Amino acid sequence: MKKNCVTRCLVSAVFLIFGQAQAMEVHGQISTQVEQESSIAQGDVASEIKDLKSQIVAIALANQTNLKNSENVRAQLDPLVAKLGALETKTFEEEKALKVGVWQQLWTDDADDKRADNFFQKVDRTNTYQVVFDDGVFYNVSEIQTVLGRFTGFLRGNYEAMEPRFNLEFTDLKVRRGGLEASSEQGGLFPFVEAAKLGQLKGLFQFPGERRYPNGPVGAKGYIETLFIDEEIRIDVGANLADGVRDLFVLVRAQ
């Protein structure tokens, strides 16, 4: 009787162990499949992001200096930007950290940007940058062709991070004779503009015209919201508080 009981117990134990082994094997197969599917899904998202970025940059570059068709260009960009923005997963703090550095502006439909051109001067939109520092200061830097030759404009502003926006105010405008090729002497655009920020860049002088808003940019306030940002591209919408029109900005990292 005892012998039969022991035998049955051993058999039950063998079946139990065998069942556990099968369950573990099945669980392992399921986990592997889930990991593979997750990896494929992540790969699909990365591929879609890359494709959307390429399309946006191509459209922006093709229309970088053409200011007459901004409505049509915006109509092309908006659906692509919406798709890209839906794939953004970064936190506001991560976006804030990524903003620091040098960004080249490829395209915008900001009306204030267009008003910078007149009979005396014209902004070179292939040489327009934004330099963002981590202490709440930024500069919009552009080469300007004037009747007196080429100059570089340094429009200084302050930003305040107030999730989900960055509130902005432009505080000063200075110019310097010559183009941005002079930045190579400082080791790049970031240290070049940093020297201007610290008052160490020689040759800067006050803009010789009306600087105060609405006739100039100084004193203008607004905000931007970042729809997508990574190490390569940054897409913002922003508005001047005076008109509330949400303009689009497409930028790529330069340094």
Spell out the domains of the chain, with CATH numbers in brackets.
91-253 (2.40.128)
Which band of pLDDT confidence, cut at 50, 70 and 90, is reported for residue 54? Answer: very high
Q: Check if the beta carbon of residue 108 is closer than 8 Å to that of residue 250.
A: yes
Distances (CA, A) of 161 to 60, 94, 172, 201, 237: 27, 12, 20, 28, 15
Rounded to whole angstroms, how far apart are CA atoms 231 and 94? 11
Instruction: Enter the pTM of the model.
Output: 0.83
CB within 8 Å of 242: residues ≥ 6 apart: 213, 214, 220, 221
Question: What integer pLDDT is reported at residue 117 of this predicted model?
Answer: 80
> Quick check: helix, strand or coil at residue 42?
helix
Give the angle 222-197-105 at the CA atoms, nearest 5°. Answer: 50
Closest to 140 measured CA to CA, from 156, 120, 126, 160: 156
Rounded to whole angstroms, how far apart are CA atoms 9 and 106? 77
Query: In 45-115, at which residue ranges do the beta strands (DSSP E only) sit?
Result: 101-108
For residue 168, is pLDDT > 70?
yes
Question: What integer pLDDT is reported at residue 19 of this predicted model?
Answer: 54
Which band of pLDDT confidence, cut at 50, 70 and 90, is reported for residue 63? Answer: very high
Question: What integer pLDDT is reported at residue 207 of this predicted model?
Answer: 80
What is the percentage of the chain residues whose pLDDT exceeds 90?
69
- Work out the average pLDDT over 105-130: 89
